[in-house]
């Protein structure tokens, strides 16, 4: 049987749960009998069913399960969390084969799910499209393994490396990217747990930092404001979404709306590291950093980033604000279908 083909299908459907399943990884599972998919599912919103429960539940004729194979992007769990162990469900339904993309590094599972399946006499194959499955669950694995959120840097630059002209004419906004890239950015926001910007960006653009031209959850907003100089009437402080202000000021100038959190740190040389600690404290699994250049550069300089998504426009400015730059050789991801977007990974 073509194992890769079915794990590929698991990867596709796992995409449907991204964002909603958080902090759980969005896993994909398909049940196959005689080279035909007879059930499939992905992780339900947090607290709900795991992918295997949904995939097995979708099989109409349960008598086929004994002869079927279940494919799953992540090792079936072995623990009682919000839901009972998926490994037990597979054993109870006597599935013949289990094909797994990658092992779960959660210490509650970490191989115990596989062990349980093997002990029950089920054929188990591990590591089909392993890299792709680990990449699908990259946010989850980063939190598990690195004890910090998955960090995505995002910016748009001209073809000659500027993010903005030197003087900004408010009447004439300059578009480096296009309307499609704007929509893509909103999709990206819906996929991440938090969005982070510096004060200059907040004051200059008064952004809402929410999801508009896409459907899905709004990310938690994080504003770096060392001196608490951002006016309180800005959109980010409208109380509609959880917002964390990271500052150096001790005194809190806000009147404590339920969605607003002030975190005080020292803006010193390991700023990005300290920000990660604040994000850990708030159990943030992933963050997209949308500017400005100084903030982005801080994360690059401290080598605290996982992915950079860079729009490179067709325009050029004579002079302007320089785009962030990488201070070491980095890989550009291939297979991107557009020449406007470049994706780099820090691995
Ligand atoms: C699976 N299938 O679809 C997912 C798994 O609190 P719980 O019960 O929801 O368990 C969460 C843990 O289960 C999570 O940290 C990860 O180790 C695993 N996620 N496992 O068998 C799934 N999402
Ligand atoms: Zn499970």
74 lines ligand 1 (CB under 6 A): yes
Nearest CA to ligand 1 atom 4: 50
Write down the pLDDT at residue 72: 98
Angstrom distance (rounded) from CA 74 to CA 28? 8
25 lines ligand 1 (CB under 6 A): yes
Domain residue extents for the chain: 3-141, 148-345
Write down the pLDDT at residue 341: 85
Write down the pLDDT at residue 335: 66
Burial of 256 (0-12, 13-18, 19+ CB in 10 A): exposed
Q: What is 3-141's CATH number?
A: 3.40.140.10
- What residues pair up with 243 in beta bridges, in sequence order? 221, 260
Q: Which residues of the chain have pLDDT under 70?
A: 168-177, 251-258, 335-339
Q: Residue 27's closest CA among 134, 114, 152?
A: 134
State whether residue 237 is helix, strand or coil: helix
Q: Which of 11, 28, 50, 51 to mutate to test the pocket of ligand 1 (most atoms within 8 A of CB)?
A: 50
Write down the pLDDT at residue 259: 82
Taking each helix axis from N to C end, the angle separating 293-301 and 271-281, rounded to the nearest 10 degrees, works out to 90
- φ and ψ of 9, to 5 deg: -65, -40
Nearest CA to ligand 1 atom 18: 77
Write down the pLDDT at residue 173: 55
52 lines ligand 1 (CB under 6 A): yes
Count of alpha carbons within 13 Å of 37, Cβ hemisphere only?
Answer: 18
Q: What is the DSSP string of 243-260?
A: EEEEES-SS--S---TTE
Residue tagged 């086929």 (tokens): 64
Q: What is 148-345's CATH number?
A: 3.40.430.10
- Within this chain, domains 3-141 and 148-345 share the same CATH topology: no
Write down the pLDDT at residue 168: 64
- First vs last Cα of the chain: how many Å apart? 33
Ligand 1, atom nearest to 21 Cα: 23
Active site residues: 52
Burial of 66 (0-12, 13-18, 19+ CB in 10 A): exposed
27 lines ligand 1 (CB under 6 A): yes
State whether residue 175 is helix, strand or coil: coil
Q: Which ligand is nearest to the CA of 70?
A: 1
Where would I find the H helices in the chain? 3-14, 51-57, 86-92, 112-119, 130-136, 138-146, 179-191, 199-205, 271-281, 293-301
Angstrom distance (rounded) from CA 306 to CA 325? 15
Angstrom distance (rounded) from CA 41 to CA 29? 5
Residue tagged 């980010």 (tokens): 236
Write down the pLDDT at residue 253: 60
Instruction: Give 152-171 as a 3 state SS string.
Output: EEEEEECCCCEEEECCCCCC
Q: Which of 81, 100, 101 to mutate to test the pocket of ligand 1 (most atoms within 8 A of CB)?
A: 81
Measured CA distances, 58 to 27, 65, 101, 123, 168 (Å)? 15, 11, 21, 22, 56
Write down the pLDDT at residue 220: 96
Measured CA distances, 97 to 55, 67, 143, 259 (Å)? 14, 8, 30, 47
77 lines ligand 1 (CB under 6 A): yes
Angstrom distance (rounded) from CA 1 to CA 253? 63
Write down the pLDDT at residue 337: 66
**Residue 30: both structure tokens together:** 């398909």
Peptide bond connecting 23 to the previous residue in cis, omega within 30 degrees of 0: yes
* Annotation: binding site for Zn(2+): 50, 77, 86
- Ligand 1 center–CA 109 separation, angstroms: 9
Nearest CA to ligand 1 atom 17: 106
Residue tagged 């964002």 (tokens): 19
Please write the tens of the pLDDT for every residue from 301-333. Answer: 999 999 999 998 888 888 888 999 998 888 887
Angstrom distance (rounded) from CA 79 to CA 116? 11
Peptide bond connecting 292 to the previous residue in cis, omega within 30 degrees of 0: yes
Burial of 119 (0-12, 13-18, 19+ CB in 10 A): exposed
């Amino acid at each position: 049987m073509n194992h890769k083909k079915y794990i590929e299908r698991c990867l596709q459907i796992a995409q449907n749960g991204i964002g909603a399943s958080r902090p759980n990884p969005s896993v994909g599972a398909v049940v196959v009998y005689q080279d035909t998919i007879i059930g499939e599912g992905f992780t339900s919103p947090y607290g709900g069913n795991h992918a295997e429960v949904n995939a097995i539940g979708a099989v109409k004729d349960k008598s086929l399960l004994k002869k079927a194979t279940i494919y799953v992007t992540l090792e079936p769990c072995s623990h009682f969390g919000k839901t009972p162990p998926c490994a037990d469900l597979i054993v109870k339904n006597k599935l013949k084969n289990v094909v797994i993309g990658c092992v779960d590094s959660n210490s509650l599972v970490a191989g115990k799910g596989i062990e349980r399946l093997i002990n029950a006499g089920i054929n188990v194959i591990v590591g089909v499209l392993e890299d792709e499955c680990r990449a699908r669950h990259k946010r989850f694995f980063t939190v598990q393994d690195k004890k910090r959120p998955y960090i995505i840097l995002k910016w748009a630059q001209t073809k000659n490396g500027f993010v903005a002209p030197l003087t900004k004419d408010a009447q004439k906004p300059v578009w480096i990217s296009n309307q499609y890239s704007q929509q893509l950015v909103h999709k990206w926001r819906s996929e991440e747990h938090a969005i982070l910007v510096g004060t200059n960006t907040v004051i200059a653009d008064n952004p809402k930092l929410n999801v508009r031209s896409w459907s899905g959850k709004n990310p938690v907003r994080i504003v770096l404001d060392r001196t608490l100089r951002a006016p309180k009437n800005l959109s980010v402080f409208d109380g509609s979404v959880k917002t964390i202000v990271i500052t150096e000021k001790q005194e809190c100038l806000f009147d404590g709306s339920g969605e607003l959190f002030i975190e005080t740190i020292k803006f010193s040389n390991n700023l990005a590291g300290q920000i990660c600690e604040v994000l850990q404290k708030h159990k943030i699994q992933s963050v997209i950093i949308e500017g400005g250049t100084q903030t982005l550069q801080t994360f690059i300089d401290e080598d605290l980033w996982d992915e950079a998504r860079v729009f490179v426009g067709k325009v050029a400015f004579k002079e302007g604000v320089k785009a962030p730059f990488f201070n070491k050789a980095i890989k550009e991801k291939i297979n991107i279908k557009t020449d406007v977007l470049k994706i780099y990974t820090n691995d």
